[in-house]
Structure 1
Amino acid sequence: MAATTADMEAMRALLPCLLFLTAACDGGATPQPQPEASAATRGLNADTMQAAMADAQRLPRLRSLLVLRDGQTLAERVFNGGPALDRPVNIKSASKSVMSALVGIAVARGVFTGVDQPVLPILRADAPANPDPRLARVTIGNLLSMQAGLERTSGEYYGRWVSSPNWVRFALSRPFVADPGTDMLYSTGSTHLLSAALTRASGRSTLANARDWLGEPLGITIPVWPADPQGIYFGGNEMRLSPRALARFGELYRLDGMVDGKRILPAGWVQTSWTPRATSPWSGQDYGYGWFLTTMRGHPVRFAWGYGGQMVYVVPDLRLTIVMTSAADAPRNTGHIDALHRLVADGVIPAAEAGATG
Structure 2
Amino acid sequence: MTVEEAVAEADARIRRETRFAHTEHLVVVHGDRTVAAHAYGERALHEPGDVYSVTKSVLSTLIGCAVHDDRLHLDATVAALLGGAVPEAFREVSVRHLLTMTGGTDPSGPYDIDAVMALPAGWTNTLLTAPRLARPGTRFRYDNGAAHLLAACLQRALGEEDLEAYAVRRLFAPLGITRRHWPRDPEGVPYGFGHLRLAPPDLVALARLWLAAGVAPEGHRLFSAAYAAEATRAHTAGGPPEGVGYGYLWWVTELAGRPAYFAGGYAGQHVVVVPSLDLITVTTGAEAALRPGWRPALDLVPGIVAAAAGAAGSEVGKPL
Deviation at 1:342, TM superposition (A): 2.5
Instruction: Map Cα deviations across residues 207-242 of structure 1 (whole Å, 9 max, x no partner).
Output: 111111111111112523211111111112110110
SS at 1:213 equivalent: helix
1:75 correspondence with 2:36 = yes
* Larger RCO: 1 or 2 (CA < 8 Å, sep 6+): 2
Question: Cα 1:296–1:354, aligned 2, differ >3 Å: closer, same or farther?
Answer: same
Matches of 2:109 and 2:45, distance apart in 1? 29
Q: Which one-letter code corresponds to 1:136 in the other structure? A: R
Structure 1 residues 307-346: aligned runs within 5 Å = 307-329=266-288, 334-337=293-296, 340-346=297-303
- Give runs of aligned pairs for residues 1-358 of structure 1, distance below 5 A: 44-58=2-16, 59-79=20-40, 81-112=41-72, 114-125=73-84, 127-128=85-86, 131-132=87-88, 134-152=89-107, 157-164=112-119, 165-202=121-158, 203-260=160-217, 261-282=219-240, 283-329=242-288, 334-337=293-296, 340-346=297-303, 348-356=304-312, 357=314
Deviation at 1:349, TM superposition (A): 1.3
In structure 2, C-alpha distance between the alignment counterparts of 1:219 and 1:136, rounded to whole Å: 39
Would the aligned equivalents of 1:45 and 1:355 in 2 still touch at CA under 8 Å? yes
Preserved contact between residue 151 and residue 191 of structure 2 (Cα < 8 Å): yes
CA shift for structure 1 position 72:
2.5
Task: Give the match's secondary structure for 2:239.
Answer: coil
C-alpha distance in structure 1 between counterparts of 2:3 and 2:245, whole Å: 30
Q: Work out whether residues 97 and 304 of structure 1, in 8 Å CA contact, stay in contact via their aligned partners in 2.
A: yes
Task: String of CA shifts for 1:235-287, please: whole Å, max 9, x gaps.
Answer: 12110110000000011111111123321222311101012112333343100
Is the 2:236–2:245 contact (alpha carbons within 8 Å) kept by the matching residues of 1?
yes
Instruction: Kindly indicate whether the alpha-carbon contact (under 8 Å) linking 1:151 and 1:176 is maintained by their aligned counterparts in 2.
Output: yes
Q: Runs of 5+ in structure 2 lacking a partner?
A: 316-320
Rounded Cα–Cα distance in structure 2 between residues aligned with 1:193 and 1:156 = 12
CA contact under 8 A between 2:267 and 2:286: conserved in structure 1?
A: yes
Q: Matched residues in 1 for 2:11 and 2:46: separation?
A: 20
| Aligned partner letter, 2:273 | V
Identity of aligned residues (%): 32
Give the stretch that moved more between structures: 200-209 or 101-110.
200-209
- Equivalent residue pairs, number: 307
TM-superposed deviation, 1:201: 1.5
Q: Partner amino acid for 1:56? A: I
Partner of 1:314, secondary structure, is strand
Distance of 1:178 and 1:319 partners within structure 2: 39
Cα distance, 1:82 vs. partner?
A: 3.5
Indicate if the aligned counterparts of 2:24 and 2:43 stay in contact, CA closer than 8 A.
Answer: yes
Residues 120 and 221 from structure 1, CA distance in 2 versus in 1: closer, same or farther, beyond 3 angstroms? Answer: same
Counterpart amino acid of 1:342? D
What is the DSSP-based 3-state SS (H/G/I as helix, E as strand, rest coil) of the residue aligned with 1:183?
Answer: coil
Cα distance, 1:74 vs structure 2: 1.5
Q: Residue 148 of structure 1: CA displacement?
A: 0.7
Distance, in Å, in 2 between the alignment partners of 1:333 and 1:288 is 31
> Contact 1:49/1:351 (CA < 8 Å) preserved in 2?
no
The whole-number CA distance in structure 1 between the counterparts of 2:49 and 2:132 is 34
Q: Which has the larger radius of gyration?
A: 1
Maintained 8 Å contact 2:111/2:130 = no
Question: Given the two structures, how large is their TM-score scaled by the length of structure 2?
Answer: 0.89
1:331 deviates by 5.9
TM-fit CA distance, 1:61: 0.9
CA distance in 2, matches of 1:49, 1:160: 40
Q: Distance in 1 between matches of 2:239 and 2:233?
A: 18
Write the deviation string for residues 18-73 of structure 1: whole angstroms up to 9, x where unpaired: xxxxxxxxxxxxxxxxxxxxxxxxx9533333222212223201000100111321
> In structure 2, how many angstroms separate the alpha carbons of the residues matched to 1:105 and 1:121?
20
Cα separation, partners in 2 of 1:332 and 1:237, compared to 1, 3 Å: farther
- TM-align CA RMSD: 2.2
Is residue 103–residue 135 contact of structure 2 (8 Å, CA) maintained in 1?
A: yes
Q: Which consecutive unaligned segments of at least 5 residues does structure 1 have? A: 1-42
Q: Distance in 2 between matches of 1:153 and 1:306?
A: 19
The Cα shift of 1:189 comes to 1.1
TM-score relative to the length of structure 1: 0.80
Instruction: Measure the CA separation in 1 of the matches of 2:77 and 2:225.
Output: 22
State the Cα distance separating 1:341 from its structure 2 match: 3.0
